[in-house]
Structure 1
Amino acid sequence: MQPEPAPVRFDTKIAVLLRDDVLPWQRLNITAFLVSGLGTVVPEVIGEPYEDADGARYLPMFRQPVLVFQGDRDVLRLAHQRAISRDLPISVFTSELFGTANDRDNRSAVRAVPTEKLDLVGLAVYGPRNAVDRVLKGADMHP
């Protein structure tokens, strides 16, 4: 009998923090948008392509779980400040993005607002596990 392989533990963390007052459909949309750019900036988070038993090929995905948290406006504001001060890769989703319909307008909407005045409804952060844990202090796991 062969021993079971040891569980995989990652020294990094991918985390999404959502404001606790956004609607369920918005949470899903925000999460998808927030993590969409991570693999282009941090390619090591992407695993190998998938293939099923019949040889059909599928796109690669993140090599590790994406943990989703929630918090109020203050928790998001503090997490945003902490992530920026630690120079961690971060993406943001602001309330203004609910009124835009394309990437160009999304970028313009964020660019129009100073950092400290962003009306954050979500953010994603990646980095060493302990650094991301400190960024998310005060947030709760998403139910």
Structure 2
Amino acid sequence: MTTFDTRVAIFVRNDLATWKKLNVTAFLATGIAGTAPEAMGEPYVDAAGRTFARLLGQPMLVFAASTEDLARAHRIGIERECVHAVYVEAMFSTGNDEANRLAFLAEDPETPGLVGIALRGSKKAIEKATKGVPLHN
């Protein structure tokens, strides 16, 4: 069994519609997985010998965050130099990756309109970012 010296936390704004929460979580998880090839597990193989995609082999906890929780976790993620994936409100109205990146670029860097972030960093950094934020239920 592999133990990781890092933790992954996904923060999703708690007042979003369910489909938006799931969409944001999926996008943020891929952002973290894309930056951590060393954390990817091996492909899954079923009893018939069919191969399925690799998954991140590291647990990811999903938190129900307020706007203030998101801002705080975002700030801590930057201060602690965590791997950081972001999703802003304006991205819901785009239709592709290029438009998403342009929507994010147009945000105020100090106060982006965050609806979700994912952080991968040291246990200490992630514990500080998640302090007081409830797990999503």
> After TM superposition, is the score higher than 0.5?
yes
TM-score of the two chains, using structure 2 as the length reference: 0.93
Q: Give distance in 2, aligned partners of 1:44 and 1:89.
A: 14
SS at match of 2:85: strand
Structure of greater Rg: 1
Structure 2 residue identity aligned to 1:74: E
C-alpha separation between the residues in 1 aligned to 2:100 and 2:110?
A: 18
Shift of 1:133: 1.1
2:80 equivalent to 1:86: yes
Could you say what secondary structure the match of 2:70 adopts? helix
> Structure 2 residue aligned with 1:22, among 12, 16, 41?
16
Structure 1 residue runs without a partner (length 5+): 1-6
- Residue 117 of structure 1: SS of its match in structure 2? coil
Instruction: Name stretches of at least 5 consecutive residues in structure 2 with no aligned partner.
Output: none
The offset of 1:9, in angstroms, is 5.0
CA RMSD of aligned residues (A): 1.4
Counterpart residue type for residue 73 of structure 2: A
Question: Matches of 2:42 and 2:2 in 1, distance apart?
Answer: 16
3-state SS of 2:110 partner: helix
The alpha carbon displacement at 1:130 in A equals 2.2
Question: How many residues are treated as equivalent by the alignment?
Answer: 137
Matched to 1:78, the amino acid is: R
9-18 vs 54-63, which moves further: 9-18
| Identity value in percent | 38
Give the structure 2 partner of residue 120 of structure 1: 114
> 1:39-84: per-residue Cα shift (whole Å, max 9, x none)?
2222112111111111111111010221100121111001000000
Q: Spell out structure 1 runs of 4+ moving beyond 4 A.
A: none
